[in-house]
Structures are given as structure tokens and as C-alpha cells.
Structure 1
Amino acid sequence: MKRIYFLLLILSVLATACKKGKVSPEPVVPVIPVIPVNPADPGLPTAAKDGVVFINNGTSAIVTLYAPFKKSVALIGEFNDWKGAAMKNTPDGNIWWLQLDNLNPNTEYAYQFLVDDDLKIADPYCEKILDPIDDIHIDNNTYSGLKAYPVGKTTGIVSVMQANQPVYTWKNSAGFTRPTKNNLVIYELLIRDFTAEHNYASTLQKLDYLVGLGINAIELMPVNEFEGNLSWGYNPSFYFAPDKYYGTKTALQGFIDECHGRGVAVILDMVLNHSFGQSPMVQLYFDKPSGKPFAISPWFNTNSNTHPYNVGYDFNHESAATKTFAKNVMKFWMQQYKIDGFRFDLSKGFTQKLSSDDASFSAYDASRVAIWKDYNNYIKSIDANNFYVILEHFSDATEEKVLADDGMMLWNGLNVNMNEGMMGWLANSDFSWAFFAKHGFGKSENLLNFIESHDEERTMFKNLAFGNASGSYDVKNFAVALKREEMAAAFLFAIPGPKMIWQFEELGYDISINYNGRTGNKPIHWEYFQQTERKALYNAYAKFINLKKKNGIFSSADATYNLSAGVKYIKLIESNNTVVVVGNFDVSSKDANVDFGASGIWYDAVTGTTMTLTGNTYNKTLAPGEYHIYSRTALNAG
């Protein structure tokens, strides 16, 4: 562009001069100045990468920081008594780097970057940080021998580097086969609120409980470093460092490995829509007076209002720097932790379209589709072996169809409609949106249905608080409410496609999501498992999950249903069997009239009994809350 500009300028001058008779009108060959192009930095070692790379058997380290437009960057840390060493800058001005020598490979070194003699930041790519505020609340049982913060030497969050880190020896992951998407039953959990010890080791002790339930995947809410300790994790700050409040790096690797050994996949909740103020990437280009990132930030939008649900500082996923960073994050967790999938938080936010309402935010966005296809293709280039890419998208069906056709899985919440049915309020109880064909998807495996996630009010709480009643039948009654939960679960697991349940949903957890504040700590009630009525709900969930996994008919594309009335049913057909799930969601007795398609003996997987139809139609009066799972031939119950 500069050459064209100079050429036009010269020609313009010549033309003007010709008009004034000052030069000959004969053709003149202009001299075009050559604009030098910065060559590749000959000083940047070929081994360098983002963050730290160790060489010379760990006695040297090449440290880099991507920080365009900065005047100076110094590396400060324990290796130079925090006095700083000026880092070199590549000719293009983008990368600052320095090689450290004479390091002890077995020593943990705390370090920071001093930018423009003013800003101290930690390394965005570091795998461990030290926080002077949060670390004091981490007990030794969770993180033994945690390195002390360098008090009096510096301020703010510091990074930690070590050549010879503790290495986990993997045992089970090589032979682990991921469950097929259609057979996937995910258990979403928040480590903080799952056990009192809130760490990987204590969570692992509950693996027998989870395997007994029948789940074959665990989805961990965000475990990379986030602001504070008592968080859901959706306020991320460091993307390569596991949060120490839950345990060590090797403890997390061990947790994943042990899950694989028990046939359970591990999915990580990944938050790349936004970051928070502790992030060094936010701080590098932050305008304190306005409280916003500068426009020159390689990663973040100045304004975080590209969509109505944004929190923190909004990543610009059309930026090449953001795409590089996001892919580096994905690759790191896939390779270092051998995870089996990502659930991407607020995936619909990967847009640069301005939208102030949900309708415009949800509308088809070609740029967003291209971004997600690019990320999905990148993930498949690293691991094409049934790796799960799950999007919290909730956008226009036409957009979700394109993403589903590309192999991604879309979250589909049934909380409102199913819970209305549980409570006995029928007007808004149709949950037929759970069927993939209504979304235009070609496969059921791309629609991930759930009744509860971390984000919704707990259905058992609403049953007890707002349940309907008729005569002596009252959904607010504890035992009745639990049986209504059971009936809803029977329908959930009969719907073809992958499923997810939220922690303790299977025990009828009845503490409101707003207890102690929406994201605040919640009571942990493992004693629920010893209570007869709650244990019965757990057993029912286990039965339904087992039926789903052991019988291919629950993945059948041949499905009919009526889910709008009080008596609801789902009928699934395959070549040698038919399954009909029928239940009365009303609070009074109702007559069921359902075409089963065949007369004769039908097997009831709920009661273990049989029923004989003289014709094709099932005619029976169902009590409120009564449900059945009938099959033409007996189902495999494992």
C-alpha cells in the first residue's frame, strides 16, 4: 500500500508539473522508494515458544512475552534477586525474549515481567502462579508444600517456572475408549461444592458412587486459575495453570487417569469468551481511567457490550492473536492432561456483532460459525478420536444445525418445561424441544439434553416450594416430589441422544441455587445417600442410565411422542423392538390412550412385571405421578 501511495504521489507531482510547463511531457520512469521489511529476528532462538521453554537439560530457559507496542520489558525474579534484566525485542516489535542460564532444574523460580518500567505482570502462559491473597487459604492437604510468596520482593501475582516439574506417570489413558456420543451420560460437578475437602483426591474417593450411578463422563466446571478461591470458575485469569484451591497439576492428571481406568471420560468447562482483570493479557493494554482495554489490545474488545450476557473483558475471536492464544490453550489441555472434551462456556459470545437483546444476539452469525468451524477443525487436527466439542450456544436453530453438522454438540436445557411438568403445572410443560429432529439436526448425538445444570434453579426446590396439588395429592409433599423427579428422569433418558445431569440431581438436592448468593458455596449433603427415599431416586437414575447404555433402541431415530398433555408418552421403534414410556404429569388421575402398535405381552422395566394388550391401544387410568417403561421384548437391564 505504501508503494502504491508513493507512486501515485510522484505521478501526481509530475502531472501537475507538466500542466505548468516546468518539465518535459516525455515519459519519465519514477524512482520508487523501497520500504524496508523487518527480517525474521536472527537472535530469537528457534526453540523459543510462548512463555517458557527449557533447554540445556533444564539449566537454561528461554522466556518470551508477546507484547506489541511496548517500549521496554524486563524479566524480574528470584534468579536475579528481582532486579531485572532487559529483554530483547524482535524487529517487528511483537515479541520480547531473554535466555536465562545457570538455573537449577529442580528449583521453582518465581518471576514476573516489568513492562514499560511501570507494570508488573505474571506470565500468561505459566503453569503455576503465586497469589499473595488467595494462597493463604489453601490447606496443606489440598496442595502440599506450596511455594511461599516472595513477600517484600515484589507485588501482585507472580509466575512460577521449573524445568524438572513433578511428572505424573499415566497408567490408563492409552487404553481408554471414549463412549460414543449417543451413549454419553455426563455428570457435571463443581469440585468446591462436591466434597468438603474440595480437591481432586476427595472427588476421586466418590468415583465408586458415580460409577454406580452409571455415568460415563464427568464434566468439571472450570479448573484453570480464576479470581478468588470460592468461585464457579467463570472469571478466569490464567488459562494454563490449574487452580491450586483444587490441588496440584499431578493430582488433576491422576484424577483424569483414574477416571479413564474406570471407563469414565473427563470433559473440561473452558471459558474463552472473556477474561477478568487479574489476567496479564488484560492488564497489558488496560486504560485505567476508562476501565476498559485499549483499542490496540491484540486480544480484547474495548467495549464488552458486543452481546447482552457478557461479563469481564470480551475476547475478540476475529483477531489472529486471540485465535492463536485460544488454540494454544486447547492444545495444552488436550495434550498435557489427556482430556476427552471441552464444554465451551458462552460459545454464542464468540461474535463481533453488536447486540443489545437476545433475539439479535441469537440470530445467525456467519462470522461466529466460521470461528467455531475453525476451532473445531483445529481440535480434530490434534485428536480426531471422538473428542467432544460441546457448545453452550442457544442460538438460532439454523446456526446450531450448521455447527451440529460439523460434529459439535449443542447444549439443550429442559429445566423450565420439565420442571413445570414435575410440579404439575401443565400449560408450559411440553419438552418436545428435546428431540433432535425439531432442531433440524441430522443426528441425535449432537443434541445434549439436561434437566439441571449449574445455571438453573434446582427442580426439587421448586417442587417443594411451588408444586401443584389436588385433594390429598400434593407435589409439595417430600415423597411425592421425589417420585415426580423419578418420572421426569424416565422420560429424559428415553429421549435419544447424549445426556447430562447436575451433581446431586440424582438425590433430589433441594437447596436453592440462590442460597448464599447464586455462585456462593452450597451445603454438601452426602448424608442424602443414606436416606431411603433419596437413595430410591438414585437407584432409579441408575436403572434408566443403564437401560439407555445397554439398549440401542434408546438411540433410535424412529420416535413419536405427545408431551403437551397431562399424560405424556414417548414411543421408540427399532427393527425388533418397541419401547413406550408413558406417565401422568397431572395432579389427578387421567386416562391414557396410547397406540402401542402391537397387541400381546409387554414388559414393564419399572415394575419388572408384564402386561397383556388385547389390541394395539393402551387404555389405562394412571394415578398422578404414575409412569411405566414398556417394551415389546424384554430390555437388557445389565
Structure 2
Amino acid sequence: MKKIIFLISCFSFLFLSAQEQQVTINIDKIAFSANDQVTITVSNVDPTLWNTGQPDNIYIWAWSFDLNGAEAGDSPTNGSWNDSNALQQLTNNGNGTYGFTFTPSSLFGTTNISKIGFLLKADNGASTGSGDKKSQNLFLNLAINELTLAAPSNYLTVANSGTLINISATTNLTSDFTLKANGASVNTANGTKNYSFDYTLTSDVDFVLEANDGSRTISEFFNARLTPSSPVPSGMLDGINLDSNDNTKATLVLYAPNKSTVHVIGNFNNWQENAIFKMNKDTARDKFWIELTGLTPNTNHMYQYLVDSTIKVADPYSTTILDEFNDSSINATTYPNLPSYPTGSTNHAVTLLRTGDPDYSWQTTNFQPPAKTDLVIYELLIRDFDELHSFDAIKARLDYIQDLGANAIEFMPVSEFDGNKSWGYNPSFHMALDKYYGTPTAFKQFIDECHNRGIAVVLDVVYNHATGQNPFYRLWNTDNGGYGGQASVDNPFFNQTATHSYSVFNDFNHQSEATKSYVERTVKYWIEEYKIDGFRWDLTKGFTQLCTSSDENCTNEFKKDRVDVLKEYADYQWAMDSDFYIIFEHLGGIDEEKHWADYRANEGKGIMLWNNLNGIYNEATMGYHVNNQSNFSNVSYSVKGFDGPSAVSYMESHDEQRLMYKNLQFGNSNGGYSVKTANTALARIQTAGAFFFTVPGPKMIWQFGELGYEVDIDFNGRTGEKPIRWEYFSNPDRKAIYDTWSRLIYLKHKEPIFNTQNFSMDLGSTNGLKSIHLTLDSATGNDIKHITVLGNFGVTQQSIDTNFQEGGIWYDLMDETGNTTINGSTTSLSLAPGEFKVFGNNPSALSVNSFENDLNIQVYPNPATTSFQINKAIEVLLIYDITGKVVKTFKGSFAKGYSFNISNLPASIYLAKVSSSIENTTNFKIVKLN
């Protein structure tokens, strides 16, 4: 590029005297440098006006500015103001003009010049004492050399060995060119403005092209790399591959089509691009790979991929990442010895790599997950369940969850997400555990303990989308590797725009083999590494490629491409674990859901679907029944349209308003009875449970629903932190929900009738009276063959038809003493508003064991899981195993209803001896369950 140098005249608007002349200057060059000879020609000047009478009495007085624009001083040959140097006298051209020829570097003794300032003056410019024998100030800008690289057109060239690479460039000033390859000069060209040279590529080269105009040297930097081609070693997966035989090695694999080079940078090479750490390329598979050697076992190695020398990303298959923005907010209690982010060395997420760490030693190796129909899932957000927000904290709460009767825990997403205090539906690294909840070891210990207690662990996973931090998004987007923009047309993982109407963040293309491979690789990791028992797949509606973001009808219609790909994912999970729970959050049409529910159901598999009944159950608890608005019969998988227990029904989830909130805000009333009254509203939650857990099929509870949690879901923003209310457990009215639900859940788990397919429901009345009837056709002996559930969701006292299936004595199964009965011939029963009853034609195995003795001891529940109670005050309790050995001793003064903890005893049958005085003793059996 050429620049035109403009002559700048600075006119003085202050008239000092008639002896200061305004002159005109011409220059013989449009552009010149410090080493170029320049002639200036002055016209419109009369030296005789300076009172000398000498027509040649005209001199140049000059000063310079350096390359930074600062004034650098006068010309050494200026002379003095009262006596100019003859070397700077102008030549009379004889035509009324005067000339002066000079070279700036000679005039000033330096090449560090960007601008020249000067004026014309008489030999003695101040003979009158006024200093006015001069012209106005004048300035000349020197040309600054510029180097333009014409070829190669990209700063990185990837080519085969032997390729001729043309290197051509131009300057606007005559220059001497030097081409350097890896620091050594390979070609020169002097005194030219145009450079061209053909270089034969035989190895990776870092080029520097220099141009010197005599004043300074300017440079362009560019690189050339040989096209790599080397197959990924057999057995290597994408991401990190540790060497089981050598913990000083690890092989890294990155899928990156249309990328030319990838280097590994990390704390082992000062985060600098280095040819030693350039990855091999398997051109046939579009994968880059490298075997790292010399690693130190049990050490925190950190790395990123530098792609095409421009974009730095963490490994998409990182199992732990370090975050420059959020790690400082994670405390040492949650994550001890968290490595520090390498601040100042790099930016963006960094992958943590460790070798030689011992494998976790699993203590529970024979876990059998509960049958689908028995599932009671406890959904929780770690952040809002315990103030320590860690896996360890939740593990310490397992007694609470287990005593409630939940046999599965579903975590909201725990894979790495943006920020710390999130719901987790903004995933960035699908295979990394988010450090805000704790270490991988802590998570494994939690799962191990859950399995020891018979509790399954289900993860909520988010494969519909990823945030801008996701490496596969950053490598192909319109934001030059940033977090914004949109996926570029060549992105092998993400759609440029969403193909469904529920899009958030960046939408995965699940018809792409690259995406399928990513999903399956990460799924495999969670199942194998953490022994996860199931996944709840978020937003499966988004897995189609056939719609647009503006067409909600299309998104909700049956989509075969979506059905097929989700079945493919299901097959992959079942190949990892044949008992794996697969749950979809689809909330769509029954036709498509039934395809999944029936898929491989004849093998005992089939996919489960979230079944949202929040609004309908809430209408019932609030007391509104007009137009069938409280008919929650879809709680039944058969009514919903499934052949088997495929509907995971829930009254609350993380996404739904809390039942108690609406009870208190909008509850119905009649006379002195008001659902808006706290105790009344809480009691009605118990009744809702009676018509929820007794219906065969899997169920889900949202955290603290069992205590009547009433904080608005939009408190502090929908996904913002919510108050943690453990004090509710000490409130008898709230604890009553927990106790009632616990009893119902234990009945569901232990009584075979709750797995029956023979049941009917009458839930659609306009007065709030509802009933359920179950029959176990295969019942024998003392089995419960019939159960009748009756409830009044109205706001007035009402009578309900019992419709008992047979005569005889019916037992109130919610009475833990087993003493409350009713005659089966009873045709109707009066129920207070919000009251319910659960009757069985036989007492439950969970009812108390009563003994004929002077103490009239009753024990409940029996069988027990973690504790049992006795209906009398006692002083001594001894528990013996089947060999007669005392395994537990309680001595003291224990009040009626004291809870005796036996959680540390293995599942078995025990003999207990109890006494209230030294003379009065009795024995009984206690059954301890897992």
C-alpha cells in the first residue's frame, strides 16, 4: 500500500510584523524516507525585506520528531538564530525561487524521524530584537514503510512435502528483503519494492519476512506445516486414554474435520505452540492424536488443544475442567485440593489430566435396581437441598430419603455447566463432573452408599443443546471461536438454527454421526465410571431435524427421525447395562411416547416417560372440581395409554409450581374450612399422596414436597436459589406428610397388590369424592387381595360409597397398630373435607406385631428398614442375631414411641428381648430390610 505524504503549512494568525513572510513550498517527492535525498523549492519569498539588501540571505532552520511523534531536537547544522550555518543556506535558482537539497538522516544524524519541522530565516533572524526575520512554521511528514504479504493468503499453510510455496510481498518504500525459515535466512532481495520467492516445503516451518528501508525493519510472520497422516492407534477413544501398563503415558484423541493442525499446549510446555506437541492426523477419520510421554503419576497435568494456531479449547471429553471464572468460588470443604487455574498462562477452560491414581474400590458390587413399577424417585437439586451443596452432604441425608421410602434418587444435571449456582440445564462439557458439587471420589462414595441401601441413582442428562463454552461449538462458529454467534455451516455437531420450537443455547443435530458418537461416548463414561443406574433425558422433543423454531405444531407431532435416534440411544445404554432406567422428558403425544414405551418391553425393558400431573393434582388439593378439572386419572399408566408401567407420574418436579404454594394462595373454602389455612393445606397434601402412591406404576417426588414446601417456584427467579427448609421436619403438621407418605410408600413396596394390573379408579366427580379399587388375582393365604382407597377432596363433610369388593373385616392400612377395622358390608362412609382412608381385606405385613404378654408390647413398623418403635416406655432392649449373639443393646429410660435405630444391622431376622422392669420381659422377632 502506498501513502501520500502531505505538506502541512501552519499559518500564523498573529501579525508580528511585515518582516515575517508567508512563503510557498514545493517538494520533489510525493513520499520519502529518512535516507532519501529531497529537494524543496521556495517561492513567494523576498530576502531583501529582511533589511539586508542581500538577495541570497535565506537559510533553513530545521528540527525533527522521532518515530513516536515526540519532538527530538534541532538540526546540528542549524547554527544559531543570530548566525545561521552556511551549510543550510538555500540556493538562488535565478527565477525568483530558492532551493535546498538534503537527506533527513544526514541533516539530523539519525533515522529515527517521522516528521520534519522547519522555517526560512535571514542569516541573523533577530537583528532588530524582535526575531521576525523568518517565515511561518512548515512541516514535512516522512513516509512510513509498510509491508503487505500477498502470498500465501493464509497465515497457516498445510501442504505435502515437496510443495512449492510462493512467498510474495510489497513495500511502499524501496527496501532490502530477508526471508527466514525457522530463524535461518534462506533468501534475500535488495533495493526493491516487490518481493517474490518459491520455497520448497520439506518440514514444518515458521517463516519471518523482513523488509528494511534503511530506517527500520518491519516483519510479517506466517507458518507452513506438512500434512500429517497417521492412523489413530487401535482401541483409542475420543478424549483421554490412559495407559494401564504405563502411568507416565496418555494418548489424546480429538475429532476435528476441516482443521489443519492441532497442538497440545499445557503446563508441561509453558502453554506454547511447540512442534514436539503437534498432534498426528488420521486424515481418513478426521481425527488428531498424540501420545504424551514422561508424565508424572499422581500429578495435576493441565492442557488445551490449540487448533490451527488460533483457537484454544479444552478437551470435549474432559472428565474434570478448570474454569478461570468460577473455580475460586468452590470451597475446600466441597472440593479439597482443587488445582488452581493457570491464570496468566492461558484462557478458556482447561482440561485436568492425572495418571496413576488408584481406581475406586466399590463396596457394593451386587446391586439390583428396583423394578420399574416399584420405583419411587426422589428428584433433587443439590444446591437447594443442603447448604453445603455437595455429594457428601446428600450422603449424610440418606437416612431421611431412605426412611421416606424413596428407592431412587434423581439428580438434576451434574455434568459441567456454565457458572456454579445453576439448575444444570446449561451444559458445556457433558463428560465432566461439575466441581461445585464435589470430587469424583465423593460422587462414587455417594453412589456406593446408595447401592448399599438399595437406592438407585438416576442422572438428568441434557443432550438437546450445549452452551457456547462447548469445544465442539467453539471450533466451528461465526464468532471466531468465541462463545457467541451461531454454529457455522460446516459444524459437524450443531445446527445453525434450531430444528424445533423449544430451543435454548446451541442445538445439537442428532442425525449427525458426529453427535451420535459424542452422545454415546459420554453415556458410556457415566455408566462405566460411576455405575449410574439410569438417565432422565431432558427435552427429547428437540431431537428432530424436521421442524423449525417457529413451528410448535410440527415439533409436537410424531417424528420418526426422533423416534429412531432415541431408540438407537436406548439400545446403546442397554448394551452397557441391561437393567438401565431410560426416562424421557417428552410430554408430547401418546402415539410417539407409546413407540418408546413398547420398545423392547417384551424383554423387560421399554422406555419410561415423565407424566406431569401437577396442575390436576393441585386442583384437587385446592378443592376445585368443576368440569372434571381435578380428574387425575392419567396417573394410571393404563389410562394414559401404556400397556405397562412406563409413565413416571409426578405431582411436582423442578419445573412445576409447588402444590402448597397454590393451596395457600388460591385454595377453596366453605364456612370455617379454608384450604388457605396452613394446617388444612398440609393435611390435603397427605390425601394427595394416598391417591398417588397407591396407583400401580413408578412415581416421582420433588424435594421437600413430603414436608409441604411452599416457596414460589419463581422466588429469586425460576432457576435462582431457594430457601432450604430442614426446620420443617420438626413441625408436626409438616412431618405428618412425611410419615403418611412413608407409610404409603412402604405399603407400595412390600405389598404385592400394588403391582397389580387389575385396578379401577373413580376420580372424576364434581364434588371431590374419589376412590381407587385394587385386586390381586394371584393372592393366597394372608395376602391382601383387595384394597379400597377413599378420599374427600371437597371442602365439606361428605359420604362416599365404599363399594368394597367383598364382605368381612377390612383393615385400615394407615393405622400402624393394625387395630382399626370396618365391616365390608358398609356401603358408605362419612369423610371430613380432606380426609382419606386406605382399607385392605387383610392387615398389612407392615402392621405391628403384637404379643400376648403382661406388657402388651406392640412393635412397628415390622419389617423395619432403619428403625422401629415400641408402644410402651421401656428400660432395656436387647437384639440377638440368629446365632444367639447380642448385636445391639439399648439401656436407659425410653419413652413410648422412641425410635430404636438399627440402620447399621445387616438385613436379617432378629430376636429382641424387651423389659420394663427386672420382672417383666417379653421376646419378639424383628425383620430388618435393606
- TM-score (normalised: structure 2): 0.63
Structure 2 counterpart of 1:220, from 411, 414, 436: 411
Is 1:114 matched up with 2:306? yes
- 1:71 corresponds in structure 2 to 260
CA deviations on 1:31-66 (whole Å, 9 max, x unpaired) are: xxxxxxxxx965432243211223361222222211
Secondary structure class of the residue paired with 1:113: strand
- 1:611 corresponds in structure 2 to 822
Distance 2:612 2:844 in 1: 28
Aligned partners of 2:802 and 2:829 also within 8 Å: no
Amino acid at match of 1:589: Q
- 1:301 corresponds in structure 2 to 495
Structure showing the higher strand proportion among its residues? 2
Distance 2:557 2:285 in 1: 39
Aligned partners of 1:186 and 1:501 also within 8 Å: yes
Measure how far apart 1:553 and its partner are: 1.1
Larger radius of gyration: 2
- 1:8 corresponds in structure 2 to none
Structure 2 counterpart of 1:593, from 801, 807, 821: 801
Measure how far apart 1:358 and its partner are: 4.2
Is 1:579 matched up with 2:787? yes
Structure 2 counterpart of 1:91, from 260, 272, 283: 283
Is 1:396 matched up with 2:607? no
- 2:292 corresponds in structure 1 to 100
Distance 1:541 1:225 in 2: 34
**1:93–1:69 CA distance, 2 compared to 1 (3 A):** farther
CA deviations on 1:529-566 (whole Å, 9 max, x unpaired) are: 11111111110010010010011111211111111111
Measure how far apart 1:165 and its partner are: 3.0
- 2:544 corresponds in structure 1 to 351
Aligned partners of 2:759 and 2:772 also within 8 Å: yes
Structure 1 counterpart of 2:576, from 370, 374, 382: 382
Distance 1:366 1:594 in 2: 46
Structure 1 counterpart of 2:620, from 421, 432, 454: 421
Aligned partners of 1:63 and 1:99 also within 8 Å: yes
**Stretch deviating more after TM superposition (330-339 or 606-615):** 606-615
- 1:489 corresponds in structure 2 to 689
Secondary structure class of the residue paired with 2:430: coil
Measure how far apart 1:166 and its partner are: 5.2
CA deviations on 1:582-623 (whole Å, 9 max, x unpaired) are: 1111111223124223233211113451111436xx312322
Measure how far apart 1:413 and its partner are: 1.1
- 1:30 corresponds in structure 2 to none
- 2:440 corresponds in structure 1 to 249
- 1:10 corresponds in structure 2 to none
CA deviations on 1:83-136 (whole Å, 9 max, x unpaired) are: 123222222361112222211122211111111222111000111111011000
- 2:16 corresponds in structure 1 to none
Percent identity of paired positions between Structure 1 and Structure 2:
45
- Number of aligned residues: 593
Distance 2:350 2:370 in 1: 40
Amino acid at match of 1:559: F
Secondary structure class of the residue paired with 1:334: helix
Secondary structure class of the residue paired with 1:307: coil
CA deviations on 1:233-275 (whole Å, 9 max, x unpaired) are: 0000111110000000111011000111111111111111111
Structure 1 segment 419-568 matched on structure 2, within 5 A: 419-427=618-626, 428-443=629-644, 445-565=645-765, 566-568=768-770
- 2:607 corresponds in structure 1 to 408
Distance 1:93 1:183 in 2: 46
Secondary structure class of the residue paired with 2:352: strand
Structure 1 segment 611-630 matched on structure 2, within 5 A: 611-614=822-825, 618-630=827-839
Is 1:329 matched up with 2:522? yes
Distance 1:382 1:61 in 2: 25
CA deviations on 1:439-461 (whole Å, 9 max, x unpaired) are: 32111x21111111111001111
Aligned partners of 2:770 and 2:790 also within 8 Å: yes
Secondary structure class of the residue paired with 1:493: coil
Distance 2:805 2:376 in 1: 30
Unmatched runs of 5 consecutive residues or more in structure 2: 1-227, 600-605, 780-784, 847-862, 864-930
- 2:239 corresponds in structure 1 to 51
Measure how far apart 1:368 and its partner are: 1.1
CA deviations on 1:567-594 (whole Å, 9 max, x unpaired) are: 0111111124111111111111223124
- 1:263 corresponds in structure 2 to 454
Measure how far apart 1:504 and its partner are: 0.5
Secondary structure class of the residue paired with 1:404: helix
Distance 2:236 2:709 in 1: 50
Aligned partners of 2:303 and 2:350 also within 8 Å: yes
Aligned partners of 2:230 and 2:281 also within 8 Å: no
Aligned partners of 1:69 and 1:93 also within 8 Å: no
Amino acid at match of 1:571: H
- TM-score (normalised: structure 1): 0.91
Amino acid at match of 1:53: N
Aligned partners of 1:70 and 1:116 also within 8 Å: yes
Measure how far apart 1:357 and its partner are: 4.8
Distance 2:591 2:372 in 1: 21
Aligned partners of 2:465 and 2:506 also within 8 Å: yes
Distance 1:99 1:600 in 2: 77
Distance 2:805 2:408 in 1: 35
Is 1:283 matched up with 2:474? yes
Distance 2:649 2:551 in 1: 25
Amino acid at match of 1:390: I
Aligned partners of 1:47 and 1:53 also within 8 Å: no
Amino acid at match of 1:189: L
Secondary structure class of the residue paired with 1:58: coil
Distance 1:438 1:489 in 2: 19
Distance 2:755 2:556 in 1: 29
CA RMSD in angstroms, aligned pairs only: 1.6
CA deviations on 1:459-508 (whole Å, 9 max, x unpaired) are: 11111111010000000111100110000001000111011101100000
Secondary structure class of the residue paired with 1:630: strand
Is 1:206 matched up with 2:206? no
Secondary structure class of the residue paired with 1:418: helix
Distance 1:341 1:136 in 2: 32
Measure how far apart 1:309 and its partner are: 1.6
Measure how far apart 1:632 and its partner are: 1.6
Is 1:313 matched up with 2:506? yes
Structure showing the higher helix proportion among its residues? 1
